[in-house]
Structure 1
Amino acid sequence: MFDDELDDDSDITDEAPKAEPADPVEARRLAVRKAVQRYRSRLQRKLAGLHDDLAESKRGAEFRRYGETLLAYAHQVPARASSVSLPDPSDPSRMLEIALDPAVAPPANAARWFKKAGKADRGLKDTPPRIAAVEAEIADVSAKLDALAQASAGDDDAVLYDATIALERVLFELGSTVRQQIKAPEPLSRRELGVSAANGQPRSNAARPPRAPQAGAAGPGKLVPMRFTTVEGWDVLIGRSSEGNDHLTVHMARPEDYWFHAHGCPGSHVVLRRGKGPNEPSRATLEEVASWAAWHSKARTAGKVPVHWTLKKYVRKPRGAKAGLVYIEREQALMVRPVEPPKDRMSDVVDDAAND
């Protein structure tokens, strides 16, 4: 699971009041940014609540022991008591303080504790994927807010347009109730956003300002990952976008491939393809690929970055999660320095991993 470290929203509440920008476009951009920041704060509160739920879920055995104790010592429970202190059946020298509903008999109180234990057991299974999904959404929203802040400080109108539309799409995807709660402006229309009514994805022919050519812009589309070869000859695929990460992990990677991601921050999904057979990559190869995953993340300027890796079969996408959001299990960590993959080991051709 990713434990993303996120900026707080103090800039919403602690700033001195400022006059609204005279430019209506800039005023709209500011309103959208503040609304998305409030949405992120809402997600962070939801995340805190889920962590509280998880802590409660870990008490299932304790709740079950309360129920067993009430059944074992039902004759010692005073009528209409709101709590009782009874010996632990497994360790009579230890007393258990058990809360009761004074309106019901001991067996009914025991049943209530057993029901609570069952709920805790289910929560222990169901809550971690929900935490992972919320953490990943927070990271995704934070990355879009960071991109807008950086674009606003620059002088590239096309980049600023892209960053603004990315936040506008965040509002577009929220329900009207949530938008009202975070005091968001009315969302732009599908036409204004260049979004297809069929699947909510951006239309390729959406109107937008001309964009200056960028290094590496020509070549595969955003869904097609970059492909590199390690020193020892292993194929490595690196996602180019959230949608590209989703396509790589969900549709291209095989169960036995190795999967990498920088821990605690947004970044590319990186897959080391094992091919067919029992071959295992060396420690040096794992560290090499991890360093590439660190480079293709928001932590690329850090001295050292923790990178989680696991087999792709232990990576799953929670139901209903946004593109690129996943939950991982059985992960291991490597501390590496971010290293840009050598361009002379990049290939423009990526075949479908599932069809090898």
Structure 2
Amino acid sequence: MARVGLEADRFTCCVRPRRRQQQLSNIRFRKGLVYYSRRQLERTKQAVQKIEPAIEAAVQTQGQVVLCASNWVVVKDCEHSFDPFIFALFRFTVAALAFSPFLKKALTSKLIRRGGLELGFWMALGYLTQAQGLITTDASRASFISTFTVLVVPMLAGASGKAHVKPLTYFSALMTLLGVALLVEKGGAFNPTQGDAWSLASAIFFGVQVFRTEIISRRLNKNAVLPLMAAALTTVAGTSLVAAAVTHPQAVQNLLALPAQVHAMVQGGIPWWQIMYTGLMSTDAVLMIEVVALHDVSSTDAAIIYTMEPVLGAGLAYVVLGERWGSLGWVGAALIIASSLAAQIVGTEEAVVPEPEPKPKQLKTGRR
């Protein structure tokens, strides 16, 4: 009996540690599974949080495209009865006044002040050359020529080292210029106007502005958006005043010297609803959306969305202004859109920053 009891004790001593080890293994497995699940859930949550701002920014950019497309028709319609430079002066003065309460904060920050001056400079060049171009060209043609902006952006990104520009991008630029040539063709002859050249220059200036907006906006936090806009729009308004003074010195001098003339102009003769719409909507709202959206979306991705602007602009010009093209014009428009999309989708890729090579380990020789 004693021997049997001894064997039973040995069996119990062997089994209990095994069960204990198995229980500990099960506990560790469950803890590991819970930890892994929580970690994967946290990673998924972080990924969703990164995607949501990008989707929201893309939707905002679509709204910006609609406002920009309507801008072509409104500005073109006003230029039949109102000087474009005086219109620009009123438009951007209204736009700047809307954000004037934030100008004080912009002036206290060197980074915001310099960024606003730079963006305002490129914006002013883009808007003023756009207004000059619409004097002698159709709104629909000008809107399609503006698509050249989406080719300027990746080229600048490539030149700055931010992205690698493939040969397809340069080929797309040539195809876009060919599309512009077909667009300005009339009666079987190449018939470009000064307005077409101004519109092309406007597209280049806006391309620089979009590229620089992405860089500047990502240096600042989102709380600096309103001061940045105030500085940029004040710069545009000041540039518009200079342009109006250069083109119509006597008219500006009379307005500043005779306040009664200003009162008479306010009473009638000024397209106020167009000024308010272009100043508050197609300027203020567009710039705000652009600065906020480019904080989460790259300028090259935003340029793909901008490609739809000329399509909407041409459609509105067709309905509102009654503008019509020939068959070659439609071929040129399609070529512009196809080239721009091809350049944006497969023409560029993000630059890859090479990892630094590890330093070779020094062998210890025992000497000091």
Q: Which structure has greater helix proportion?
A: 2
TM-score normalised according to structure 2 size = 0.27
Give the greater-gyration-radius structure (CA).
2
Q: Which structure has greater strand proportion?
A: 1
TM-score normalised according to structure 1 size = 0.28
